[in-house]
Structure 1
Amino acid sequence: MNQKLIVRAVAAVFTVAVLLGAGYVAGSRRTATDTPIALAMAASPSAGSDKVDTKTGRKVLYWHDPMVPNQHFDKPGKSPFMNMELQPVFADEGGSSGVKVDSTLQQNLGIRYATVVRQDTAEGFSAIGTTQFDESMADVVQSRVTGYIDHLYASAPMQRVAQGAPIASLFVPDWLAPQEEYLALKRSGMDASLLAAARARMQALSIPDGLIASLDRTGKAQTHVTLFAQRAGVVTELNVRDGAMVSPGQTLAKIAGLSKLWLIVEIPESLALQVQPGMTVEATFAGDASQRFSGHIREILPGISGDSRTLQARLEIDNAGLKLTPGMLMRARVSGAKTVSRLLVPSEAVITTGKRSIVIVRNSDGRLQPVQIAVGSDSGDNTEVTSGLTEGQQVVASGQFLIDSEASLTSVLPKLEGSVAPEASPVAPSAASASASAPAAQTYETTGKVEKVTSSDITFSHQPVPALGWSAMTMTFGKPSPTSFPDVKVGESVHFVFKPSDDGYELTQVEPVGSTK
C-alpha cells in the first residue's frame, strides 16, 4: 500500500515538472518572438526621461536606426531592421530641424554665408541685346544717268571706307553730244542766251556743275564721272560689278556708319507691358565687362517674335571709339525712373530646379535648413525674393554644389526638412553628406542568400557594400510591386541591385548568381 502511494506521488511530481517546463519554454519562445516587435513598437521617451549615454554622459531622447530614422526606440540594442547597433539621438540636438554641420567641415567645403537685405532699387529687369547698324545713318550711292561701270573701287560687301573715298567710276556716252554742242556755240560767238540754254540742257542731263566748270576752263568734253562715299562706314551692299550697265536711280552701293549703332533689346513677353520709351538702358559687352554703354529706349518695335516670344526695343548708343561692331551680344539692364524697396539675396545663393527655387538658410542655432522661396526680377548680382525669407536671415551663398541638381534635391531636401513631419527625426551630418554626394538615381549591388520572401519585401544575408560603407549583414529590401521577382526562392544565392527610396531601399534587379553578367 505504501509502495503504491509513493509511486503515485512520484508520478504527480513528474507531471507537474513537465507542465512547468513546457510553460517555461512556450513563454520563452513567445517572449523571444515578441521582443523585436515590442522593441520596434516602443514609444519615444517623454521629455522628462533621464536616459544618459554611458560613453558621452549626454542626455538621450531616443535611439534609432539611421537607415529607418522615423522609428524610435527607448533603449539601446540591435536594430530589428539591420544587423547593426541603434544610434542615440541626444536632447541637445533633437529639438531643431535641419542639419548640424561641423565648423571644420564647413570650412573645408568652402561654405560662405550672405545676409538677406532690403534695398531701394530702380524698377527694371535684365535682358539680352544685339548691336545693329543704325539704318537712319545709312547712305546710298546711286547713278543718275545711263552708263557703264568703268572702274569699281569697292571690291566687296562689308569693306570699310573713309569719308570721300571713291566707290565707282562711270562712263556716260550721252554726255558727249551736249558738251560738244556747248563748246561749238561758245567758239562761234553765240549770244549769252544760247549758251545759257546749252548749259541748262547739260544740267538737265545730270552733268555735275564741277564738270561744266571744268569744260569752260579746259575746253575739253568729259564722259567719265566718279561717285564718292558721303560718310565713313562700311559698304553693307554692293550691287554692281566692273563693266555693268547702270540706269538712272539704280543703287550701286549702300554705306552704313559706325559712329552710332542701334541696340536691339529682346524683352521677354511676360515683361512687355513694363517697357516704355525713354527708359534708361545700361549695356555691357558680354566679352568684356569693362566696356559699358548707356542710352534710352527710342521706340518699341511692334510684334512679338514667334520663335523666342520676345518684344524688341530699340535704342541708339554712341560708338565714337569704334569699339563695337554690329552683331555683338550685350547684357542690358533696363531701369525705370522710380525706385522700389526689394528684399534681395545673392543670385548665387538661389538653387533653381525648374519647378521651384530653394535657398539654404542658417537657423539661429547654426543648423542648415532648405527653404522654398518665390523669386522676382534680378538686380545686378542679386535676386529679388517675394516670399519665403525675412530681412536679416542668413543664407548659404556658396557650397550649394553639393545639392546642385534636381536629382540631388529630390533625395536630400526631404531628409533635411526635419520640420515637415512631427515624427521625423533630424538627419545626422554623415547621412546628409552621403546623400549629397550621391545622386537620387544611384544604384548599388551585391550578392547574398535569400532568407525570407514576402509580398512586399525580400530579406537577404548579403556581402559588404563598399559604396555605402556597409559590412556584411542581414537586411530587408522592398519590392517595387507584390508581383516582382516571382522566381526568387528562400535559400537561393543571388546577385541583386537596389536603390534608395522613401521607405529605405528598393530592389531593382534580382538574379541567380550563375546568370549575372
Structure 2
Amino acid sequence: MASWIEDKRNIGLVVLSLTCLLLLGLLLNRPGMPPPREDDHQHDASSAEATIWTCSMHPNIRQPEPGLCPICGMDLIPVSEGSDSDGPWSLTLSEHARSLAQVQTAPVERRHIAHEIRMVGKVAFDEKRVGDITAWVAGRIDRLFVDFTGIEVREGDHMVELYSPSLVTAQQELRQAVRSVKSGPSSMRKASESRLRAARKKLGLLGLSSRQIEMIERSDQPTDHLTIESPMEGVVIEKHLNEGAYVNTGSPIYTVADLSRVWIILDAYESDLAWLRYGQEIEFEVEAYPGESFSGRIVFIDPVLNPRTRTVKVRIDVPNPNRKLKPDMFVRAVAHAMISGGGKVMDPGLAGKWICPMHQEIVKEGPDACDVCGMDLVQAEDLGFVAESTTEPPLVVPASAVLVTGERGVVYVEAGEAPGTYEGREIRLGPETGDFYVVTSGLEEGDRVVVNGAFKIDSELQIRAKYSMMYHPSAPEDAPNLVVLETHAPFRLSLDAVYGAYFQIQDRLSRDDLASAHKAGQDLAGALKKAAVIHLDAKGKIHWDRIDENLAENLDTFAKAPEIEAGRAAFEAVSEDIYRMAMQFGSSDAVRVLRFHCPMAFDNKGAHWLQNHESTANPYFGASMFACGSQVEDLAETRKAASDAPPPKAGGHDH
C-alpha cells in the first residue's frame, strides 16, 4: 500500500514538471514576442576577439594575456583584432561618433598672415649726435660759461675761457707773417703768404675759429687766453671739469647731445626675430604722452643675443623736433609684420626703394648717395626685403589643429573620399602667429585638417595601441645633423672615463640618489680635462671645443641643482652633450653606448638619455617608473651607417 502511494506521488511530480515546461514553451512562442537579439552575445564575442593586450602609454607592448605593463606598470588593456584595419596611424569614425567627438575640419591654405609683435624699451641718445668739447691746447680753465648740465647751446656759443701760454707764441708767428705780407719785398711775397697760411692753420689746430683768428690779425696785443666755442647744437649732458682745473690737450670738458633726433632701443625676444627686418615700421607710445602715437623704422638689429634676458636689441631712429622724447623715457612698441613663403618678413612700402647700408633711416626712391656718410645706396631687396608681389604666400594651418609634443607637431588629415577617415601626419612648423602656424613641410594646399576633436582622435588611437602623438617610430629619431669624425684609438680610449662617469650619473639618478650623482658629475668634469685631445686634428679640436664648453656649463648647472628634479632637468642637457660627443667622436670597443627615450618625461614632453646596457633604468622618474622608456638607438650602428653613406652630390640639397 505504501509503495503504491509513493509511485502515485512520483507520477504527479512528473506530470507537474511537464505541464510547467509546456506553459513556458507557449509563453516563449506566443505571437508578438520578439525574437532573441543577435547581439546578446556580442560582448562575449568581442571579449573572445580581444586576445591581444597592450599598454595605453607604450603601444609597442603586446601580450597575449592581461597583466601589467613591463615598462611603466600600468594595467594592460584589450585590443580588438580588427582595430588595425584602418592602418597604423588612421581611424574611421561613424557619423554618430564624429558628432559625439564634435570633429570639425578646415582646409590648409596659402595666405599672408599678419602678426603683432609687442616690445618694450627706452628712449636713448643718438650716439651719432653726441660729442665732446675738449681742450685743443694745454692750459688752465679760468671760466666756465656753462656751469651746469641741461643747458641748451647753439653752434658757436662760448663755453670756456682757457689760459694757455703756448698761444702767445703762435699769435706772434701769425702777426709776423701778416707784416711780412704787407711790408716785405715783393720777391718774398709767395713765401710770406705761405707762412701766413701755416700760422693760421696752426691756430686753427689749437681750437681757434676763423673769426677769432681774424680778430688776432687785427689786434696789436697778443692774448694768452682762448675762448672755446661749441662746435655743435645740443644739450650739455655732462660737465667733466670745474673752474681752476688744469687740462691737457684732448681733455674733455663738456659732453653735448643733439636731441633733434633720438634712438628708441627695444628688446625683442628671440622667438620674434623671424618677424623683424631692417626698415620695418614700428609704432610706439611713451608714458609721458598717453594716447599719442609715434612711429619710426628699424635701422639696426643687434647681432648679439643677451644670454640673460634672451632678447635682442632693436633700434629705431626717429626725429624729435619738439624735444618731446627725452632719453630714458619708457616705451611700449608694436610691429605689424607679415611673413612670406620663404620665411622673410615683407615691408611692401620698401619695394623698389633704395637704402643706405650704414644708415638705414636714409630711404630714397632711386639710386643716390647717403646724406650722412656719402655711401652709395642699395636696393631694399639686397638687404633681405621681399616684395609682396614677387613671393608666394606661405602655407598656414589653424593653430587648433596642431598637437605639439616636444619637438614634434602632429595633425590629423581627412583621408580618402569617404567621410570619417582621419590620418595622422607629422609636420614641420614655422613661426606661430597666434591663430595660425606656418607649415614648412608635411601638408599640401587643400588638405583638410581636424581643427576640433583632434585630441579625441589621438586618444582613441592610443587606446587602440596605434601610432599617436605620444608614440611613433619616427619620434625618437631626432638626432641632430652631426659630423661623424674619424678619430684615433688613443683618443677614443681616453673617453672611456668620460662615458663611465656619465653612466654613473644616470644610474644614481635612476636610484633617486642625487648626492652620489653630484659626485659622479665631479668625476665627469675631471675626466673631460684628461681627454687626449692631442690626438685630434684641427677640425676635431674645433668640434671638441664646442662640446667641451657646453658640457662644462651644463655640468656646472647640474652640480648646483639643490633637489633631484632640478638635477634631472640639468641632466637632460648633459645627456645631449654626451650624445653629441659619442656620435661625433665615437667610443672604444670596451664601451657600449645606447640611446633611450621616455615619452612621459617632463610633463609628456619626452626626453632621451644614454646607457651602457639594455635594461631600462629611467633617470627622470627613478623608483616611481624605473622601467619607463625604451632603447631607440645603438650609437655604434648609427656611426657605422653614417660612415658608410655616400657623400652628397656637389650642389645638391638634402631633402
Please indicate the TM-score interval, normalised by the length of the shorter structure: 0.3 to 0.5
Higher relative contact order (CA 8 A, sep 6+): 1
Structure of larger gyration radius: 1
Task: Tell me the TM-score normalized by structure 1.
Answer: 0.41
The alignment's TM-score, normalised by the length of structure 2, stands at: 0.33
